[in-house]
């Protein structure tokens, strides 16, 4: 199987590669599918979220009746069953936030050859990047492949610790959150966004330690924002706006997720074959399809002020 890889110089078999997939939402489930179909067999998956009814219609491995269950446990079971002919396949699920995954389950970054990020928010990406970049033994540190989509557009990038730029180097490319004075959004809100921002503050101040799904959290914040808006006579607070402001949720297209997932796995295979050593190798891939279909690959230089890359 996978004889097409034998002509490559480095020739590390994907079946012997240990992969950590972080995030099993729209991109993550597609990445898992591509990994298995490309010959990868040792895959650990990490996510803290639970299956929602919307996942059933948009993602391959979730079924009616899975709602409320741990995403990673459902995904591991259903994917293993779906790919029952994939000899030697082992998908291990870990229900956890990435911030405490390594300590909670007593695993090390060195346990993996490749870490794939299919996370959907900036803070989680920064956390994973920091864990990989600060691992005490760079020689044993895995490479990180980050990915993301927004509507018709998407990206993936290969991050090699101490060699390429890291996620923190390019924080300036991200849309920064807007902060509001608490006194203003509490006592004198003027817009729906002010109401949502204040509702988020109240939620964070009063949330319990129990685990909630992302949709449950956003629903609570939405209801709090509605109350605040009603008190001040403000129109325009909607669930969609709350999702965009709090969850950074944008329209998701399965076609875009599939394209980016394929690119992620292609980058992983190229790394296993040593392609990153080629003179013209580019680690950052961008895909644009809003007004046509375009793509570009390029290299981003390290930020000399990056707390990880300047060391």
Question: Which residues participate in catalysis according to the annotation?
Answer: 183
Number of H helices, E strands in the chain: 10, 8
Which 8-state DSSP code applies to residue 286?
A: E
Residue 228, Cβ neighbours under 10 Å: how many? 22
Q: In this structure, are residues 163 and 134 in contact, taking their beta carbons and an 8 Å threshold?
A: no
Whole-angstrom Cα distance, residue 186 to residue 191? 12
Can you say whether residue 23 is alpha, beta or left, with left for phi > 0 and alpha for psi between -120 and 50 degrees? Answer: left
* Site of tokens 């490309």: 38
* DSSP strands (E only) in 66-162: 90-95, 114-117, 143-150, 153-159
| Strand runs labelled E in the chain | 18-22, 42-47, 90-95, 114-117, 143-150, 153-159, 284-288, 294-298
Extract long-range pairs of 58-67: CB within 8 Å, 24+ residues apart.
Answer: 58/26, 58/252, 58/254, 59/25, 59/26, 59/29, 60/29, 60/30, 60/33, 61/29, 61/32, 62/29
- Helices 26-37 + 254-272 axis angle, to 10: 50
**Gap between the Cα atoms of 172 and 246, Å rounded:** 20
Give, in order, the Cα–Cα distances in Å from 141 to each of 15, 101, 138, 284: 19, 16, 5, 20
């Amino acid at each position: 199987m996978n004889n097409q890889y034998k002509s490559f110089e480095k020739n590390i078999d994907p079946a012997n590669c240990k992969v950590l997939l972080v995030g099993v939402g729209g991109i993550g489930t597609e990445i898992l599918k591509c990994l298995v179909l490309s010959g990868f067999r040792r895959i650990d998956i990490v996510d803290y979220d639970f299956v929602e009814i919307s996942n059933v219609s948009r993602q391959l491995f979730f079924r009616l009746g899975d709602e409320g269950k741990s995403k990673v446990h459902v995904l591991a079971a259903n994917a293993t069953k779906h790919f029952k002919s994939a000899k030697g396949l082992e998908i291990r699920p870990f229900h956890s936030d990435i911030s405490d995954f390594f300590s909670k389950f007593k695993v090390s970054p060195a346990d993996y050859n490749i870490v794939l990020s299919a996370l959907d928010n900036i803070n989680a990406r920064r956390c994973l990047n920091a864990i990989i970049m600060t691992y005490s033994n760079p020689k044993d540190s895995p490479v990180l492949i980050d990915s993301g989509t927004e509507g018709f557009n998407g990206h993936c990038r290969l991050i090699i610790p101490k060699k390429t730029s890291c996620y923190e180097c390019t924080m300036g490319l991200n849309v920064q959150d807007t902060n509001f004075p608490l006194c203003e959004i509490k006592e004198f809100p003027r817009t729906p966004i002010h109401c949502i921002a204040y509702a988020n503050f109240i939620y964070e101040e009063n949330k319990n330690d129990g685990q909630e799904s992302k949709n449950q959290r956003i629903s609570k914040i939405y209801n709090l924002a509605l109350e605040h808006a009603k008190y001040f006579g403000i129109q325009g607070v909607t669930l969609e706006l709350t999702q965009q402001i709090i969850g950074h949720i944008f329209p998701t297209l399965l076609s875009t997720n599939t394209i980016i997932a394929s690119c992620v796995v292609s980058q992983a295979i190229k790394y296993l074959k040593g392609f990153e050593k080629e003179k013209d190798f580019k680690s950052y891939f961008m895909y644009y399809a809003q007004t046509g279909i375009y793509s570009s690959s390029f290299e981003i230089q390290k930020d000399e002020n990056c707390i990880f890359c300047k060391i």
